[in-house]
């Protein structure tokens, strides 16, 4: 049976398209429900008729696809919490509110706050629900908050704001995809903690994790290595230092720190190895399956039920079930079942980068690695192991490369070296780590085990650091858009299909995909060439403006050294996202003309030409001016204040503009200002 002939493929693809349609186009839910009911009735009628009339098979398939499509639309709508009337996102107020919430998950802390995900119980004693980010200010006192704590505090719900600068990571959208729409900031003195804890599964997961950490600390596990160990085994990255994370990123080993299919696969192999003495009889295989499923579920609980772990556990649970049912040859179908099941319960996982990378990597390992492995068959076992490691790494890297370039715009050139070096060590670390963590659940692990585990992680960190130190091999700031993403995937798929069974029609497909890549490049170049825009950036220390015509940029800055700094992430993101280069950098002037519009810039000197009739006035560096008089004399269409101005001054300017009914754009509040 070909993969595409399997009915589940069409059902899953239609379901995913339905989720995408619901996410991007937001169709009316009433109409979607009506269409779902119509196709459900048609599906039911055709189901009974197709047995006797094969001519209806085509219509049955079409009705099934449409039914799956509208199911995807409805499922995403139902899982979007902002669509619920009781969700707090419907509260549009800037006033302090009395909020009662429960701590659900510990997040990575920053320099100023301990951070959690909280579940709202009520607001002002009224029934409201939803998830929020809870920021608790750090101070000299001990943090007594634990998962399951029920907290009462009066604070302001700070809703997610739009991105501050163009082409930056949209943190608000990222949180919204996790059904989080606001944050609260609290001092410990403002918090009232209920004596009664909410003891759900997340509470017990948190207690179990805390017990493991406590017992590891009793065994004098070095802090830096312990944080990496918790990430490797349990997926807890909250306490890893930024330097170590950067080393793993530059060496191409970030996947090692994120518990994914690699880690769960190791655990599954280890469990199967332990269970080898059990005979492969019917009862023996059922017992093995039960042990594997129980072990994977236990691992998910110990790791805190994080989404990445849950995805991998569900995926490998289906792999284990498929193996038990002797369906190992249809691994693609097993993957499809796990994707469909996960998206039925968590459709927003489809927009999670980790979800996309996990399944792409596993698919290409299953699909492409056997082909790469056939290139060479060394007889030496050590060389064979290295070759297998390389082919697995290459297959996963090839499959995820376009998506990584699209999201992260960088490529670690030494990824294959990293994988050859670290995978043998990682295999040992995973086995040793599982044993140490299981012991740490109950008591402090033996000193000799802790030392072995700690030293192996120390070696892993050092090896990763050495590879990462060759920064010249890390290719950064690669411009890569949606056109390139799809055209490169067409090319990769076409090449693999042709290599598997070289035929003329498949070679035509390969050449066609190459033409598609060229067309993507030509269209991108043409699209960018026709674009013109002026951006006033959100930068607090300095004022920065860019004028882009096509792919060339002219910068205006109050400090030209600041603008030329290669570490300036504001400019780097914009240049990468628009395939652009900086042609010229000038000192900021009092007047800028762009596309027939005059922009008057008033800085701290408050010196400007009153005869100019500007369309836009840009206020920078908190100038001491009488804005009411300026608005009366000059009559601008818009007032823009960049982030270099103080908050108090902007507040006064906003009132002046409101009285004159002139739009006021505060960049520190609303983000960058763009003129097309």
Mean pLDDT split into 10-residue runs, the chain, 676 residues: 60 94 92 93 80 66 90 95 92 87 88 91 93 92 85 92 90 93 92 86 81 85 83 73 82 71 74 81 83 83 71 79 64 81 91 86 87 87 79 86 92 79 76 83 86 87 86 88 96 94 92 96 94 92 90 87 68 92 90 91 85 89 90 90 92 93 93 92
* Whole-number pLDDT of residue 1: 39
Which H or E run includes 594?
strand 591-594
Q: Say which residues have a Cβ less than 8 Å from residue 531's Cβ, sequence separation at least 6.
A: 548, 549, 550, 578
| Residue count (the chain) | 676
Q: How far apart are CA 271 and CA 288, in angstroms?
A: 9
CATH architecture classification, 88-199: Beta Barrel (2.40)
pTM: 0.88
Question: How confident is the model at residue 620, as a pLDDT?
Answer: 93
Least Cα distance to 130 among 52, 192, 183, 189 occurs for: 183
pLDDT at 3: 45
Closest CA to 258 of 225, 232, 296, 224: 232
Q: Measuring CA to CA, how many Å separate 192 from each of 75, 109, 271?
A: 37, 21, 45
Beta bridge partners of 132: 118
pLDDT in tens, 462-471: 888 888 888 8
CA 176 to CA 142: how far, in whole Å?
32
Question: pLDDT tens digit string along 578-605?
Answer: 999 999 999 888 899 998 899 999 998 8
- Rounded Cα–Cα distance for residues 588 and 426 (Å): 53
Name all contacts of 414-417 with Cβ < 8 Å and 24+ positions apart. 414/251, 414/252, 414/467, 414/470, 414/473, 415/251, 415/252, 415/253, 416/390, 417/467
What letter does residue 165 receive in the DSSP assignment?
A: S
Rg (CA), the chain: 29
Q: Nearest CA to 654 among 670, 673, 672, 634?
A: 670
Structure confidence at residue 519 (pLDDT): 97
């Amino acid at each position: 049976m070909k993969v595409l002939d399997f009915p589940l493929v069409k059902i899953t693809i239609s379901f995913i398209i339905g989720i995408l349609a619901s996410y991007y186009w937001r169709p009316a839910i009433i109409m979607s429900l009506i269409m779902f009911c119509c196709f459900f009735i048609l599906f039911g009628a055709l189901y009974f008729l197709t047995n006797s009339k094969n001519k209806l098979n085509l219509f049955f398939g079409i009705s099934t696809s449409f039914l799956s499509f509208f199911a995807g639309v409805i499922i995403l709508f139902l899982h979007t919490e902002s669509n619920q009337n009781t969700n707090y996102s419907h509260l549009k107020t800037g006033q302090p509110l009395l909020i009662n919430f429960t701590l659900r998950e510990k997040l990575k802390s920053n320099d100023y706050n301990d951070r959690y995900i909280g579940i709202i119980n009520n607001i002002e004693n009224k029934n409201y629900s939803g998830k929020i980010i809870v920021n608790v200010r750090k101070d000299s006192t001990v943090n007594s908050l634990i998962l399951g704590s029920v907290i009462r505090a009066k604070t302001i719900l700070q809703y997610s704001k739009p991105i501050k600068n163009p082409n930056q990571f949209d943190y608000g959208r990222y949180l919204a995809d996790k059904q989080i729409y606001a944050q609260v900031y609290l001092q410990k003195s403002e918090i009232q903690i209920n004596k009664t804890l909410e003891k759900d599964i997340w509470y017990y997961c948190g207690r179990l994790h805390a017990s493991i950490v406590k017992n590891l600390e009793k065994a004098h596990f070095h802090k830096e290595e312990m944080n990496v160990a918790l990430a490797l085994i349990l997926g807890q990255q909250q306490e890893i230092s930024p330097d170590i994370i950067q080393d793993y990123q530059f060496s191409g080993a970030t996947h090692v720190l994120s518990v994914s299919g690699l880690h769960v696969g190791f655990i599954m192999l280890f469990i199967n190895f332990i269970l080898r003495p059990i005979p492969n009889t019917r009862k023996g295989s059922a017992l093995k399956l039960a042990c594997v499923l129980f072990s994977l579920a236990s691992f998910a609980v110990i790791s805190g039920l994080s989404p990445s772990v849950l995805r991998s556990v569900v995926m490998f649970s289906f792999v284990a079930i498929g193996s038990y049912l002797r369906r190992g040859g249809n691994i693609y179908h097993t993957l499809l079942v796990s994707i469909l099941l996960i998206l039925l319960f968590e459709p927003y996982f489809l927009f999670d980068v980790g979800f996309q990378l996990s399944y792409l990597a596993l698919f290409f390992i299953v699909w492409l690695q056997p082909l790469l492995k056939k290139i060479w068959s060394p007889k030496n076992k050590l060389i064979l192991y290295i070759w297998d490691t390389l082919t697995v790494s290459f297959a996963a890297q090839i499959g995820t490369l376009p998506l990584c370039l699209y999201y992260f715009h960088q490529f670690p050139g030494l990824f294959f070296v990293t994988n050859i070096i670290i995978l043998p060590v990682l295999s040992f670390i995973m086995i040793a780590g599982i044993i140490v963590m299981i012991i740490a659940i109950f008591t402090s692990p033996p000193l000799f085990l802790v030392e072995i585990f700690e030293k192996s992680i120390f070696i892993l960190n050092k090896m990763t650091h050495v590879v990462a130190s060759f920064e010249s091999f890390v290719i950064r700031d690669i411009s890569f858009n949606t056109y390139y993403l799809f055209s490169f995937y067409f090319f990769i798929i076409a090449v693999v299909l042709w290599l598997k069974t070289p035929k003329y029609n498949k070679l035509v497909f390969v050449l066609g995909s190459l033409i598609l890549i060229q067309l993507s490049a030509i269209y991108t170049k043409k699209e960018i060439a026709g674009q013109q825009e002026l951006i006033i950036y959100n930068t607090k220390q300095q004022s920065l403006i860019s004028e882009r015509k096509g792919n060339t940029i002219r910068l205006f800055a109050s400090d030209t050294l600041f603008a030329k700094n290669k570490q300036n992430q504001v400019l780097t993101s914009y240049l990468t996202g628009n395939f652009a280069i900086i042609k010229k950098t000038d000192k900021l002037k009092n007047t800028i003309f762009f596309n027939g519009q005059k922009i008057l810039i008033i800085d701290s000197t408050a010196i400007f030409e009153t005869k100019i009739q500007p369309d836009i006035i840009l206020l920078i560096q908190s100038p001491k001016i009488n804005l009411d008089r300026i608005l009366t004399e000059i009559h601008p269409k818009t007032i823009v204040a960049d982030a270099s101005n103080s908050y108090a001054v902007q507040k006064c300017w906003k009132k002046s503009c409101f009285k004159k009914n002139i739009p006021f754009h505060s960049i520190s509040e609303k983000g960058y200002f763009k003129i097309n």
